[in-house]
Amino acid sequence: MTADLFETVGDARAPRETIAEGAVLLRGFAGTFMAELIPALRDIVKQAPFRHLITPGGHRMSVAMTNCGNAGWVSDPSGYRYDGIDPDSGKSWPPMPPVLCRLAAEAAAEAGFNGFAPEACLINRYVPGAKLSLHQDKDELDYAAPIVSVSLGLPATFLFGGLKRSDTPRRYRLEHGDVAVWGGPSRLFYHGVAPLADGEHGVLGRQRINLTFRKVR
Ligand code: MD6
Ligand code: FE
């Protein structure tokens, strides 16, 4: 018997994979947005540079963050919250560029969530070694809306557990252009990112950028 050279093993890079009820990976979905998306992000970061936030427990996060949109996610010793003002500049966060809004809304619709209008886009930067511990996204008031997550640059291992912190997470590789949409029954599942492996990405260099779009109110 001859092996088919083009056979895919399992569905490791299937264009669409449901990873839990309400959670779907759309591989490469951001591809057609990329030419507009990357310059828009560079512009945001000029106005609101990445910074390492301090957790309420007093730890400096290894992931650097910034935001765009009407609200931004911030952490400081007093807690986690959404705030319309960038605490570093004292000004509003940069507005969300239309290309980001369109990408988020189209990905959400593709996953079955029509009418998604994000208010906040949290932008995370990982350099090799940076990680995000298992957590739930629960600082939003409306859990009916999904979260749309866009991966750019170096590949990462996404950890996806369940409703309890002790649920053993499964691991998914997220590459440049992959989009995860996440809502419904899995909206409050624990998840995180394993320490980023070193590498050099053709477009973004030695880093991974992740965008998470949220409805906050
Ligand atoms: C990241 N993402 O991929 C971190 N949260 O860098 C998240 O924490 C996340 O990807 C909620 C839904 C999707 C996510
Ligand atoms: Fe999260």
Give tens-digit pLDDT for 160-190: 999 999 999 999 999 999 999 999 999 999 9
Indicate which residue's Cα is closest to atom 1 of ligand 1: 210
Radius of gyration over alpha carbons of the chain, in Å?
A: 17
Decide which of 157 and 6 is more confident: 157
* pLDDT for res 13: 83
* pLDDT for res 56: 93
State pTM to two decimals.
0.94
pLDDT at 100 exceeding the cut of 60: yes
| Ramachandran angles phi, psi of 106, nearest 5° | -70, -40
Share of the chain above pLDDT 70, in %: 94
* Average pLDDT over every residue of 46-69: 97
* pLDDT for res 190: 97
Q: Is 137 in the pocket of ligand 1 (CB under 6 A)?
A: yes
Q: Is 147 in the pocket of ligand 1 (CB under 6 A)?
A: yes
Confidence of residue 8 (pLDDT cuts 50, 70, 90): very low
Confidence of residue 44 (pLDDT cuts 50, 70, 90): very high
CB atoms within 10 A of CB 21: 11
Decide which of 12 and 65 is more confident: 65
Cross-strand bridge partners of residue 151: 210
Average pLDDT, the chain: 94
Looking from the CA of residue 135, the nearest atom of ligand 1 is 8
Distance CA 124, CA 71 (A): 15
| Ramachandran angles phi, psi of 188, nearest 5° | -110, 20
* Residue 12 DSSP symbol: T
How confident is the model over 105-157, as pLDDT tens digits? 999 999 999 999 999 999 999 999 999 999 999 999 989 999 999 999 999 99
* pLDDT for res 10: 47
